[in-house]
Amino acid sequence: MISAFENAKKQIDAVALLLKTEYQDKLIFEKAIKSLKTHQKIIKKKILIRMDNGKTKVFQAYRSQHNDARGPFKGGIRFHPKVSEDEVKALSTWMTIKCAVVGIPYGGGKGGIIVDPKKLSDSELENLCKKYGEFLTPHIGPWRDVPAPDVNTGEREMAWMLEAYEKKTGFHSPATFTGKPLELGGSLGRTEATGQGGFYILQNYIQHTRSVPARTAIAIQGFGNVGYWFSKLASNSGYKIVAVSDSSGAIYDRKGIDVEKVAGYKERLGSFEKVSTEKKMNFITNEELLSLDVDILVPAALENAITVDNAKIIRAKAILEMANGPTTPEGEEILLKRNVDILPDVLCNAGGVTVSYFEWVQNLHGYSWTKKKVNEELKEIMNKAFGEILAVVKVKKISFREAAYALSLKRIIDAMILRGRV
Ligand code: NAD
């Protein structure tokens, strides 16, 4: 099995070779790189909850705190049967890197529980969230670690965890969690933030390649929060969305899909497989989606979607990574040799954590911004990050990921040096 954390470490090592020359004290630099390949803290616990049938069930829970040299740990909480210690370690490492890529004042964290939340009733899920919130309480807080939603968690779960945290500490502290419901201090624009941020990167990239939306065919793997919003925003701006998929497979139409319509069908019928049968739409497998002759392929599901085994079949000219870690280093090597641009996750999906940062700022000030302000600020941050990365790509003739990592690791290492940590 591919270890996501091994991949994260390989990515750091590859960029360390590029960055080395920028540091006179090689020993300090090597210490910093070594430290970035470990974690400051991993906490784990087996959480017991009483199920509706009166029996108790045990769930393994984690929180990984990778590096907080640039600010409090920040990162989502994932509920999925495939959550593992390796996965939260990788995801928290990428969070440290991502926050530095877009220049927001956080380090990286990530949490998760091995669970299929669809198999729990609402009351069982609430119970699990509150127990997890209690478990996290001593380790989190606005200036320590600020969790947020990730796969299979959302504002409802954040509200339950916040309640457990505030009950245990005895005071209100909305800035401890982001991605909360609006009524509890959530931010306007948070739900669509990750897709919105990715969309701004798409616009920048299209400008850079001198393409036009109407002639840009896009295939999107994954149609959850991120995939849906990205497709909707791109489609509204005239891009041609030719395929969208979920875990059952993909709906494909080379003339372009009506995203809103298909989203409505999926909402009603549950899966794209059912949508295709019921609505007589063209259905292909996720493997076939990867091999479509499109301009841009957008992995927006889970990690390790593009590997050494399937990179050869990819025909897209560019990959815009919306999921975390969707391309393995070996898969990437094959694609880079064919001059496929890979716009990295740490840039493309940073819109979520950026609006989380805005939510935290609003909570700390007891203030709420308009959606217009949120989106304007987000656009500015995403445009700036793309511009900085593109400049490095052009000057150093390296890939987008290498450029993003080089900029980011430099910011983190400089913060570690300033603190005298290495
Ligand atoms: P989600 O749970 O809402 O959606 C995941 C989607 O992926 C679903 O449509 C699911 O059917 C699909 N999927 C699962 N396995 C698949 C497979 N094998 N093939 C094709 N599709 C598959 O999750 P999300 O919030 O949209 O997150 C998606 C990715 O984006 C994750 O990697 C997550 O870490 C990353 N991300 C999310 C956010 C956020 O704000 N939600 C922020 C940054 C990064």
Give, to the nearest 10 degrees, the angle between helix 400-418 and helix 4-19. 80
The verdict on 177 and 192 lying in the same domain is no
- 11 lies in a domain? no
Q: What is the pLDDT of residues 26-52, one digit of tens each?
A: 999 999 999 999 999 999 999 999 999
Task: Please tell me whether 255 is known to bind a ligand.
Answer: no
Domain boundary among 154, 184, 214: 184
pLDDT tens sequence across 317-348: 999 999 988 999 999 999 999 999 999 999 99
Q: Is residue 156 part of a domain?
A: yes
* Cβ burial 192-209 (10 Å sphere, 16+ → b, else e): bbbbbbbbbbbbbbbeee
In the listed set 130, 159, 184, which residue is the last one of a domain according to the structure? 184
Q: Tell whether 205 and 106 lie within a shared domain.
A: no
> Which residue in 108, 57, 112 sits closest to 84, CA to CA?
112
Same domain, 267 and 381: yes
* Ligand 1 atom closest to Cα of residue 226: 26
153 touches ligand 1 (CB under 6 Å): no
98: annotated binding-site residue? Answer: yes
Query: Pick from 164, 184, 204: which residue ends a domain?
Result: 184
With a 6 Å cutoff on the Cβ, whether 247 touches ligand 1 is yes
Total domains present in the chain: 2
What CATH number is attached to the domain comprising 128?
Answer: 3.40.50.10860
State which of 7, 244, 246 you would mutate to test the pocket of ligand 1, scoring each by most atoms of that ligand within 8 A of its C-beta.
246
Q: Does residue 152 have its Cβ closer than 6 Å to ligand 1?
A: yes
- 73 and 59: one domain? yes
Q: In terms of domains, do 110 and 227 share one?
A: no
Torsion of CA 80, 83, 89, 91, to 10 degrees: -30
Entry field: residues in the chain: 422
Question: 238: domain CATH number?
Answer: 3.40.50.720
Ligand 1 contact via 331 beta carbon (within 6 Å): no
Q: Which residues are catalytic?
A: 110
Please check whether residues 84 and 120 belong to one and the same domain.
yes
Do 69 and 153 lie in a common domain?
yes
Same domain, 319 and 374: yes
* Residue 17 domain flag: no
Q: Which atom of ligand 1 is nearest to the CA of 303?
A: 32
For the CA of 271, the closest atom of ligand 1 is: 11
Cα–Cα nearest to 240, from 179, 170, 280, 296: 296
Instruction: Mark whether 78 and 108 lie in a shared domain.
Output: yes
Domain span including residue 76: 42-184
My answer on whether 78 and 201 are in the same domain is no
At 303 the pLDDT is 83
Nearest CA residue ID for atom 27, ligand 1 = 151
33 is a domain residue: no
Above 70 in pLDDT, residue 1?
no
Q: What is the pLDDT at residue 62?
A: 98
Instruction: Check whether residue 227 and residue 336 sit in a common domain.
Output: yes
In a domain, 118, yes or no: yes
Q: Is residue 15 part of a domain?
A: no
Cα(109) to centroid of ligand 1, in Å? 18
Task: Please state, in angstroms and rounded to a whole number, the distance separating the CA atoms of residues 36 and 21.
Answer: 18
Q: Are the CB atoms for 343 and 209 separated by under 8 Å? A: no
The per-residue pLDDT for 302 is 84
Over residues 146-179, the pLDDT tens digits come to 999 998 999 999 999 999 999 999 999 999 999 9
| Beta strands 73-80; 108-114: pairing state | parallel
Average pLDDT over all residues of the chain: 97
Whether residue 408 sits in one domain with residue 264: yes
261 is in an annotated binding site: no
What pTM was estimated for this model as a whole? 0.95
Name 149's bridge partners. 77
Q: Is residue 152 part of a domain?
A: yes
Q: Does ligand 1 have an atom closer than 6 angstroms to the CB of 151?
A: yes
Counting from 1 in the atom list of ligand 1, the atom nearest the Cα of 326 is 32
Domain membership of residue 163 (yes or no) is yes
Q: Which of 320, 318, 79 is nearest to 194 (CA)?
A: 320
* Span from the CA of 292 to the centroid of ligand 1 (angstroms): 20
Tens digit of each residue's pLDDT (9 = 90 or more) over 231-289: 999 999 999 999 999 999 999 999 999 999 999 999 999 999 999 999 999 999 999 99
- Residue owning the nearest CA to atom 32 of ligand 1: 323
Centre of ligand 1 to C-alpha 150, Å, is 8
Radius of gyration of the chain measured on its C-alpha atoms: 21
Stretch 68-80: mean pLDDT: 97
At residue 113, φ and ψ (nearest 5 deg) are -130, 135
